[in-house]
Amino acid sequence: MGYTQFSFLLFLCFCLVSFSSSIPHPCRKDQSISLLKFKQTFTIGHPTYCPYQSSTYPKTSSWNVSRDCCSWDGVTCDEMTGHVIELDLSCSQLVGNIDSNSSLFQLSHLQRLDLSKNNFSNSHISPEFGRFSSLTHLNLSESSFSGQIPFEISHISRLQSLRFSTSYATNLRLAAHDFKLLLQNLTQLTELDLSYVNISSTIPLNFSSHLTTLKLGGTGLYGIIPESIFHLPNLETLDLSENDQLNGYFPNTKWNSSASLVEIYLNEVNLSGNLLPETLGYLTSLYFLSLSNCSLGGPIPESLSNLTSLVSLDLTSNALNGTIPSWMFSHLPLLRNLILSDNHFSGRLEDFKSNSLRWIDLRNNHLQGHLPNSIQNLVNLTVLYLSFNNFSGHVDVSLFSDLKQLWVLDLSYNSISLTNENKVNFTWPETLFLLRFAACEVKELEFLRSAKQLQELDISNNKIQGRIPDWAWSNWMFSLFTLNISHNMLTSVVSTIDLRSNLLQGSLPIPPNSTSYFFISQNNLSGEIPSSICNLASLIMLDLSRNNLSGEIPQCLGNITGLEVLDMRHNNLSGNLPRAFSNGCSLTSLNLHGNKLEGKIPRSWAHCKELQVLDLGDNHLIGTFPMWLGTLPKLQVLSLRSNELHGSIRTSTVENMFPNLRMLDLSSNAFTENLPKSLFQHLKAMRTIDPSKMEPSDGYYQDTVAVVTKGLELEVVRILSLYTTVDLSNNKFGGYIPRIMGDLVALRMLNLSHNGLEGHIPPSLGNLSVVESLDLSGNHLVGEIPVQFSSLTYLEVFNLSHNHLEGCIPQGNQFATFENSSYEGNDGLRGFPVSKGCGDDHVSNTVSGLDDQEGDSEFLNDFRKAALMGYGSGLCIGLSIIYMVSTRNPIWLARILLKLEHKIITRRKKKQRLLRNNKRRNNLL
């Protein structure tokens, strides 16, 4: 082998070696196994709040064997050896324990370990952490560790960064002597964060001179702050806040000579007897200064004007005095937060020359004079608190019109008079949620109209007269938590509050005493109805329906004598019905349908002579039929359906019981004996078909009642205008159907099903000429179906099933449309559609026949009238004509329109049914 060949091979070798070493070393099997085992000891919890994290997601979710472990999220390997040297699982939603057997401790080459912001379920920090001898960075902050921090941590002598900060809630402790050990042994430390760890110790004297961050806030430290801390040469962040047993003095000489300090938090440290030292002026890098609650006195030293990097200056709650120096508003170009509240500052407020300020809090000082006009230039201002000073003069709201970022504006308790003289059309920013104008001589509220998202409004101690405008309630009802309007000159506040159909939760809010109309139905309100609802002494309508309110109905409601509408249907109310109403009762509508109310219907309700609608259906009421309700002259709707009422229903023959009743629903109770024949002798309103009752009622509140008709539970709106019904189904009535029922000619629905009725069907029922639904099923009726029924041309639902009827089914008209289900369970019935011969049962009815039969109906007469007006003919055209003309003669035409709608719908259904039956029959033949 020649030299060149050899050197070529050597070169090749060298290339291979150097090439392979430049490929990242793949994951070591043992490391991968340890990581996967570690992953498996945790479940993934809810995302936590990680404001400073670029991303928060369960990093371990993506760990699986199909990929090299060195490329897993949060894992970094040594390129040479393949050992895992860095594990960053901060904010990874881990839930579980790390005990001493954890495979984590097999990753012995770790240099950086960050497990912060997970949930380690209050487990203890294992002493095994002390064996990570290569560790330089350890972060176990805010991860729900508890108990004592093991002293073994101080064995990790290479540690540069140690973070154990926690929150108030957890109980993480560090023994005083372990704290000293830690500081003694960890000589490389640059960052130490033990915030809120319970240390309860004095501060030891010796510190790593490398420290840049020292955070010992809320640790229970006591004693004196060693002056050496202030002289740490590299210190950037010093946080000893919230240690109220800790005392300290600022050095008298120049300190922090390299001016490295960026943040100082000494709030709630006792610096009493101190003035703010001139020497603070040396800290020219200072960004945050927080010295609130430090018992500092004296003026703000001039030297602070050198702190041109300052962003936030919090000196609240001290005894600082003198004026607020003007350089604060001109020499500190980055200053955003100026918090000087609760001090003794006096004098005037100088003009703002730099506009960087976002948060100004000067509450509770002795400042005086006019507010500077330059406030309007602070375009980024979000918070302005100026209350409890001696500012004076007129302040026009236009001063704030350019502050489009404002959240909070508080001018209360000065000697200001707030005006809106310029009447500028400015809109308050949408961000604004807190306004306090107490004692600002405010006379009207108009200038607040555009403030729509307010959560707190204090306009107490002003001169607002008259009533609070309605827009105020609609603007603020949803957002406001606190409203103070006390000490004004209001005469009335509000009358109508309509919060129907929202997503309101929690307990029932009680509106102002002056409310007359309160609608808050269809929300998610829960809890009991507070008896303070009775403070609304002028209430006229109260609609709490369709919520989850529980408990009893406050008895005191019966004391609101002007109440006309009380609607609490579809809640979870229990207990007895409210008694009272003895002092007078104006109720026209009382609807408690769909609750769990118990007991009897109180006799005291007989005072409610105005009652038109009474719906107590779907409750657990007991007792016998309250016949005395018949003396309520205006009662039109009575539903006692689905309760536990029992006994026979007997009427005295007193004249004129239930004279206006048009809907009677007693279904699903336990009434017994004969049908109340004597009751049917009354019911005057059901005995005539009164076309005037077709007029739709109007008004803000629409009475509705649930009726079961045509096989569906419908909520009939405008019941007062449309329906006449009797439903006595699902009881234990026996005996015959009284002939007199045929006199109730206005009935559109009659349901006597599921009782124990006997005898023949009285032919008089054939007089119910407008009946649309007739259900006599589930009884013991015998004999034939009266032929008179064939004249019931409105009949749509007809059910005679499960009786003992026999003979031929009448033919003609509607009877062509009923199916076998109308007759099943009656073995003796014959004829179409029951497929047993009954003479000539050929189909004699056709769709056209049906039309012919309806040809003379009132509706078509009306329709012809419309057509004769010269607008042409045909249904569609007719409809549009009617629509057009209806603007001229609304009542007459509205009536036609209603009928028309009704006919079209019924006829369409009939046609469909007829066609279906024809088809079926053809198939059979």
With CB under 6 A as the contact rule, which of the stretches 19-27, 219-227, 302-310, 757-765 interacts with ligand NAG?
A: 302-310
Q: Is 535 in the site for ligand NAG (CB under 6 A)?
A: yes
Q: Is 559 in the site for ligand NAG (CB under 6 A)?
A: yes
- Smallest separation, CB 321 to ligand NAG (Å): 4
* DSSP for 278-341, written as a single string: GGGGG-TT--EEE-TTS--EEPPPGGGGG-TT--EEE--SSEEEE---GGGGTT-TT--EEE--
Q: Is 272 in the site for ligand NAG (CB under 6 A)?
A: no
With CB under 6 A as the contact rule, which of the stretches 2-10, 84-92, 294-302, 495-503 interacts with ligand NAG?
A: 294-302
Q: Is 302 in the site for ligand NAG (CB under 6 A)?
A: yes
Q: Measuring CA to CA, how many Å separate 135 from each of 39, 157, 646?
A: 21, 8, 83
CA distance 495 to 57: 51
Q: Indicate the residue among 205 and 319 with the shorter CB distance to ligand NAG.
A: 319
- Smallest separation, CB 401 to ligand NAG (Å): 12
- Smallest separation, CB 583 to ligand NAG (Å): 6
Q: Is 319 in the site for ligand NAG (CB under 6 A)?
A: yes
- Smallest separation, CB 559 to ligand NAG (Å): 4
* Residue 783 near residue 760 (C-beta atoms within 8 A): yes
525's CB contacts (< 8 A; 6+ apart) are 504, 505, 506, 507, 508, 544, 547, 548, 549
Q: By CB under 6 A, what part of segment 471-500 binds ligand NAG?
A: none
Q: Indicate the residue among 302 and 351 with the shorter CB distance to ligand NAG.
A: 302
- Smallest separation, CB 567 to ligand NAG (Å): 20
With CB under 6 A as the contact rule, which of the stretches 39-47, 152-160, 308-316, 824-832 interacts with ligand NAG?
A: 152-160
The single-letter DSSP state of residue 364 is S
Q: Measuring CA to CA, how many Å separate 122 from each of 46, 171, 294?
A: 17, 8, 34
- Indicate the residue type of 102: S
Q: Is 297 in the site for ligand NAG (CB under 6 A)?
A: yes
Place of tokens 């995302």: 47
Q: Is 556 in the site for ligand NAG (CB under 6 A)?
A: yes
Among 270, 555, 574, 721, binds ligand NAG (CB under 6 A): 555
Among 29, 67, 366, 423, binds ligand NAG (CB under 6 A): 423
- The shares of helix, strand and coil residues in the chain, as percent rounded to the nearest 5, are 25, 20, 55
- Smallest separation, CB 308 to ligand NAG (Å): 10
416's CB contacts (< 8 A; 6+ apart) are 371, 391, 392, 393, 394, 395, 440, 441
Q: Is 321 in the site for ligand NAG (CB under 6 A)?
A: yes
Q: Is 379 in the site for ligand NAG (CB under 6 A)?
A: yes
CA distance 739 to 764: 6
Q: Indicate the residue among 65 and 319 with the shorter CB distance to ligand NAG.
A: 319
Residue whose C-beta lies closest to ligand NAG: 297
With CB under 6 A as the contact rule, which of the stretches 45-53, 226-234, 303-311, 645-653 interacts with ligand NAG?
A: 303-311
Q: Is 305 in the site for ligand NAG (CB under 6 A)?
A: yes
With CB under 6 A as the contact rule, which of the stretches 149-157, 410-418, 748-756, 768-776 interacts with ligand NAG?
A: 149-157
Q: Indicate the residue among 423 and 865 with the shorter CB distance to ligand NAG.
A: 423
Beta bridge partners of 279: none
Q: Indicate the residue among 306 and 803 with the shorter CB distance to ligand NAG.
A: 306
Beta bridge partners of 589: 565, 613
Q: Measuring CA to CA, how many Å separate 187 from each of 206, 211, 268, 575, 647?
A: 10, 9, 29, 73, 94
Q: With left for phi above 0 and alpha for psi between -120 and 50, is residue 572 left, alpha or beta?
A: alpha
Strands 780-783 and 756-760: parallel
| Residue 807: how many other CB atoms lie within 10 Å | 15
Q: Indicate the residue among 306 and 612 with the shorter CB distance to ligand NAG.
A: 306
Beta bridge partners of 490: 466
Place of tokens 């010992």: 216
Strands 390-396 and 408-410: unpaired
CA distance 481 to 579: 34
Q: Is 355 in the site for ligand NAG (CB under 6 A)?
A: yes
CA distance 837 to 856: 32
Among 5, 18, 22, 425, binds ligand NAG (CB under 6 A): 425
Among 282, 517, 581, 798, binds ligand NAG (CB under 6 A): 282
Site size for ligand NAG, by CB under 6 A?
Answer: 26
- Smallest separation, CB 280 to ligand NAG (Å): 9
- Smallest separation, CB 513 to ligand NAG (Å): 4
- Smallest separation, CB 154 to ligand NAG (Å): 4
Q: Is 682 in the site for ligand NAG (CB under 6 A)?
A: no
Q: Indicate the residue among 292 and 803 with the shorter CB distance to ligand NAG.
A: 292
- Smallest separation, CB 259 to ligand NAG (Å): 8
- Smallest separation, CB 108 to ligand NAG (Å): 16
With CB under 6 A as the contact rule, which of the stretches 36-44, 553-561, 596-604, 636-644 interacts with ligand NAG?
A: 553-561
847's CB contacts (< 8 A; 6+ apart) are 911, 914, 915
611's CB contacts (< 8 A; 6+ apart) are 585, 587, 588, 589, 590, 605, 632, 634, 635
Q: Is 188 in the site for ligand NAG (CB under 6 A)?
A: no
Count of alpha carbons within 13 Å of 261, Cβ hemisphere only? 27
- Smallest separation, CB 408 to ligand NAG (Å): 17
Among 148, 170, 185, 906, binds ligand NAG (CB under 6 A): 185
- Smallest separation, CB 872 to ligand NAG (Å): 47
Tokens of 873: 């003919």
| Residue 228: how many other CB atoms lie within 10 Å | 13
CA distance 564 to 700: 13
Q: Indicate the residue among 233 and 837 with the shorter CB distance to ligand NAG.
A: 233
Among 59, 137, 155, 215, binds ligand NAG (CB under 6 A): 155
Q: Is 181 in the site for ligand NAG (CB under 6 A)?
A: yes
- Smallest separation, CB 50 to ligand NAG (Å): 23
* DSSP for 386-452, written as a single string: --SSEEEEEEEGGGGTT-TT--EEE--SSEEEEE-TT-------TT--EEE-TTS----SGGGTT--
Torsion of CA 699, 705, 706, 711, to 10 degrees: -80
Applying CB under 6 A, which residues contact ligand NAG?
154-155, 157, 181, 185, 281-282, 297-298, 302-303, 305-306, 319, 321, 355-356, 379-380, 423, 425, 513, 535, 555-556, 559
